[in-house]
């Protein structure tokens, strides 16, 4: 009989019993609602053992790749070690700032060396925890298979608490506490022929830079179209690197977009609008949207209406914290 290890308990799962039933039978509290594999309230993650595929119906591929499953649909065929989603992604590591450089007027590139194992996929995000307890999320721009250091792109916000500290006080050699990595916005090997559309605004380029390099590193063959938007030319960055990447990889296309200002080198208008106007049929495309929350929200809807399936749209709105 398979067993389920959860927190301090190990529970036997009877034949035909779900993980949800087995755990709640022991008085353990697992959130649930429909108990029918529909609402995803009972989402859990197997950190050991493989949940049956039937317990992963309707989940995003990225979640499936990380062992997530629906407890109410899971009649395990092998023993599992399971956790609730949040708990599984917390992993605290101290990391030294090895390198800092300005990518443009207000975006700082930080490269960190983690002390201890730090597993991530390019495009996921981690949390930086300041000694006084302030926590903020930042997307990972490096690719673990290529880069030895973790790269972040931090945009300075006026009066922003964490960003002011990172920009003005943190120096090379200092240590930061990081945790993570989480999020579903990353490249999925296994479908090298599919086309990919990526739209990012501002430092929303950070995860996309990671995803694109990761895709090319994995030998992705389908088309890859990146639209990076900013208010003006000064807000763009990594332009020459991206142009160089496009020269080396004919399947990769780069479109820098600016709201204001004209020029042969840039597209004029909002990045998401330009992207969706140029790609009217997105059925079977994978779509990545990162940055300004309003852009992400409206582009998600437009991409969906243009034919992309919701499970193929990966979005990271850079939502600001409510508590400063």
Ligand X SMILES: Cc1cc2nc3c(=O)[nH]c(=O)nc-3n(C[C@H](O)[C@H](O)[C@H](O)COP(=O)(O)OP(=O)(O)OC[C@H]3O[C@@H](n4cnc5c(N)ncnc54)[C@H](O)[C@@H]3O)c2cc1C
Q: Give residues in contact with other proteins (CB under 8 A).
A: 34-40, 57-58, 300-301, 304-305, 307, 309-310
Strand partners, 273: none
Does 38 help bind ligand FES (rule: CB under 6 A)?
Answer: yes
Which one, 68 or 318, has the nearer CB to ligand X?
318
Provide φ and ψ at 55, rounded to 5°. Answer: -90, 0
Start-to-end CA distance of the chain, whole Å, equals: 50
Which one, 53 or 248, has the nearer CB to other proteins?
53
**CB of residue 305 to other proteins, shortest distance in Å:** 6
Per partner kind, with CB cut-offs from 5 to 8 A, the member of ligand X, ligand FES, other proteins, none near residue 32 is ligand FES
- Residue of 2, 11, 13, 37 interacting with ligand FES (CB under 6 A): 37
* CB-based contact 253:246 (threshold 8 Å): yes
Binding stretches for ligand X (CB under 6 A):
125, 136-139, 153-155, 157-163, 203, 206, 316, 318-321, 324
Does 77 help bind ligand FES (rule: CB under 6 A)?
Answer: no
**CB of residue 137 to other proteins, shortest distance in Å:** 18
d(CA 98, CA 17): 51
* CB-based contact 149:155 (threshold 8 Å): no
- Residue of 10, 33, 77, 164 interacting with ligand FES (CB under 6 A): 33
Does 82 help bind ligand FES (rule: CB under 6 A)?
Answer: no
Does 246 help bind ligand FES (rule: CB under 6 A)?
Answer: no
* CB-based contact 186:141 (threshold 8 Å): no
d(CA 129, CA 76): 37
Tokens for 120, please give them.
Answer: 């991530």
Q: Report whether the peptide linkage leading into residue 290 is cis, meaning its omega lies within 30 degrees of zero.
A: no
């Amino acid at each position: 009989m398979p067993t389920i290890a959860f927190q301090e308990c190990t529970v036997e799962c009877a034949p035909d019993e779900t993980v949800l039933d087995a755990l709640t039978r022991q008085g353990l509290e697992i959130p649930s609602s429909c108990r029918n594999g529909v609402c995803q309230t009972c989402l859990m993650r197997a950190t050991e053992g493989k949940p049956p595929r039937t317990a992963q119906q309707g989940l995003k591929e990225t979640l499936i790749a990380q062992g997530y499953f629906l407890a109410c649909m899971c009649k395990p065929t092998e023993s599992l070690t399971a956790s609730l989603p949040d708990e599984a992604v917390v992993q605290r590591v101290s990391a030294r700032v090895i390198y800092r450089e300005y990518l443009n007027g207000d975006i700082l590139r930080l490269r960190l060396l983690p002390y201890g194992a730090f597993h991530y996929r390019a495009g996921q995000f981690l949390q930086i925890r300041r000694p006084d307890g302030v926590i903020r999320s930042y997307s990972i721009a490096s690719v673990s298979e290529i880069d030895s250091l973790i790269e972040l792109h931090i945009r300075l916000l006026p009066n922003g608490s964490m960003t002011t500290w990172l920009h003005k006080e943190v120096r090379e050699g200092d240590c930061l506490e990081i945790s993570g990595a989480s999020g579903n916005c990353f490249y999925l090997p296994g479908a090298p022929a599919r086309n990919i559309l990526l739209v990012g605004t501002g430092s929303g380029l950070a995860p996309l830079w990671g995803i694109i390099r990761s895709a090319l590193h994995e030998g992705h063959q389908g088309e890859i179209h990146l639209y990076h938007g900013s208010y003006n030319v000064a807000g763009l960055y990594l332009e020459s690197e991206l142009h160089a990447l496009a020269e080396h990889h004919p399947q990769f296309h780069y479109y820098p977009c600016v709201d204001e200002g004209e020029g042969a080198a840039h597209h004029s208008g909002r990045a998401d609008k330009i992207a969706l106007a140029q790609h009217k049929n997105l059925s079977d495309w994978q779509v990545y949207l990162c940055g300004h929350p309003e852009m992400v929200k409206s582009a998600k809807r437009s991409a969906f209406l243009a034919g992309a399936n919701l499970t193929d749209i990966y979005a990271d709105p850079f939502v600001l914290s409510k508590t400063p």
